[in-house]
Structure 1
Amino acid sequence: MQFIEGGVTAAKGFLAGGIHCGIRKNKSKADLAMIFSKTPCAAAGVYTQNLVKGAPILVTRKNIADGRAQAVICNSGNANTCNADGEKKAWRMCEIAGEALGIDPHDVIVASTGVIGQILPIAPIENAAPALAALLNENGSNMAAKAIMTTDTIEKECAVKITLGDKEVRIGGISKGSGMIHPNMATMLCFVTTDCAISVPMLQKAIKAAADTTFNMTSVDGDTSTNDTLAIMANGEAENEEITEENEAYKTFLEALTAVCRKLSMMMAGDGEGATKLLICKTTGAKDWETAKTVAKSVICSSLLKAAMFGEDANWGRVLCAIGYAGADIDINKVDVSFKSAYGQVDVCVNGAGINFSEEEAAKVLHEKEITILVELNSGDAEAEAFGCDLTYDYVKINGDYRT
């Protein structure tokens, strides 16, 4: 497996682009994205677990119930959620995309992100769609990535290539997410494309498995969004032997898909609203993956720990506290904790008790932009990772006036 450039247009047959249509007041920010496959695709998705779901999710679920899609249309600046005309507007977006691209509107994945509870203006999308469709190109991934951003400070895209048999297969994705992200389908959106030939059941199985260990292990602030969508389209243009069962080709594909999702998850966590640091909790030595997952997620979600990381304070007691209320069946007297970064590693706790360490060296370790919290449970061989960020003053500032 090799990481490559190209994002959602790295795979054969995919075009993408983004444009400012007028939903957002700032004309310098794109707010409408499209992704298009020249040929029909197998399609699958994973969505928010919030009972309040954005209208685009309801429409997308219906559209890809048959396992088919050929395009994505997504706006930013307005989430089209909790509106009486939400589904009507979401379906109209599918019609608009279908008209502009010359495809069946039922083969369109629709998504929206932004403020909840405000009526989505449809005229800007209708007016801009033909121009957007005309500018779609094989280098348009970055344009699309920018167009789906809300409070994100950087665009997020990633791609890899693998070999299946004697065929090169590519997988690429773009995502957005900076706040309102919690481990229930990480507000996040992610669109993945691949030229792999794979059946719909195997594609659904793969995207769910990849999400469970990446996006569902990502938290910024403990809030589960209403619009979270992870959708994947596979057009088969790599011409590999179609994956129809859990064989070696499937395992290789899943590994590559997970790598793309993991990279995008880390980019979202590191770009959390107001964040200055990416936090990774790696739990090892668990009796099973469920235990490892529970512990890692609990640690990464601790507001006290997140604040300590912002202050570059090696307050390991907050790690143990988060482990203690995680609800996992562990022996706290076997737990070891360390902090690690590009500067080095400092061990702070062994067998559930503090040990002597240099606070000065620990502060240097925590001064880096990426911090790994190592939790060894010493009770088995299962492990898991969770991704998050520090909690800063700016998080409150951003969310204090987000709507106004």
Structure 2
Amino acid sequence: MYFQPHHQPPFIHSARRPAWLNPLRLASLLRIIGMLASLALPLALLSAEPPPLEPVRVAPDQRGFVLHPSGRPFQPWGFNYDHDDRGRLLEDYWHAEWPTVAEDFQEMKELGANVVRVHLQLGRFMTTEHEPDRAQLAQFQKLVRLAETTGLRLDVTGLGCYHKRDVPAWYDTLSEPRRWAVQARFWEAVARAGRGSPAIFCYDLMNEPVAPAGPPASDWLGPAFAGKHFVQRISLDLAGRPRTAVAQAWIRQLTRAIRTVDPATPITVGLVPWSLDRPGLTSGFEPKAIVPDLDFISVHLYPEAGKIVEELATLRGFAFGKPVVIEETFPLKCSGPEFARFLTESRAVASGWVGFYWGKTLAECRQSKTIADALMAGWLEVFQRERPAK
């Protein structure tokens, strides 16, 4: 009889139905549960920690970058954080004004950046020919942790001598072999401090190095631009050596120093656009000659008005089977629409782009009346608009 639909089993007749099984109460209970669940989900999302960063590696096809081990594509898109709006270098204020640095990192993240290029000055990190500055290395580690918590990755550029007054006298008097040895110690110390952090995107050996041409030079630094020496010689006298051979030997010595403590982080060097083997001024760092010793090529390009086609041709000259990152760029010499065109068309060759941020938000730049801030506002607008799709 238990299978007859009009009969109920004896235990149903003999048991008292719980109050919560009342259909009306059950419906109300389900509605309350649904409301609580809808509230709990956003709260969980707010309280959840961001996923851990994965280190960036060159893609197996050598055409771009991926995250390891997931294999998800990664396109560097970010800012040079080389100085603030007062012209101060990072080491000038990162101890006393750390909250400013933290705020700037958050602002860069909110603008859509995933990479920040920092420029470490040799004179701040080497106290003597043989000893690194432990306090500065500790502060660098603090910066790395900030990048991790902010979800940003660092392009760590080293050996800067941007302010000539800050270059140690002992450093300028060294012979080429001893100077290179100091540079290798710098990189070993910095790489050791950053070892193991997924926030280190790459190590850039030096900003815009050149091998000398012609008679021996007397100054390790190139001419100043806006009070800063961004170009630096790696030798004063070729002594009969080919320029490219000097560049290769220098890269290999510094790369070995990094690889003693960090076997995997990508290594590059920031090249001037006149590094190509063309008539006229050249740097001695020909991309074709040095690319075997680097993980990817970095080039600095500032497109000029009416010359976008020529700038793109220059960019293609740096492509030799490994990723190319435009590590410095800015609409300094062209209009906003021309610069946007350059960015768009450069994607056929480039795998990453890094502009500039000097501590002023887009809103602050828009409110300012200076030409410099107007240029920066235009750049930041392009940066947000042209951001590569995830």
Q: TM-score by structure 2 length?
A: 0.24
Q: Kindly name which structure, 1 or 2, has the bigger radius of gyration based on alpha carbons.
A: 2
TM-score (norm 1): 0.23
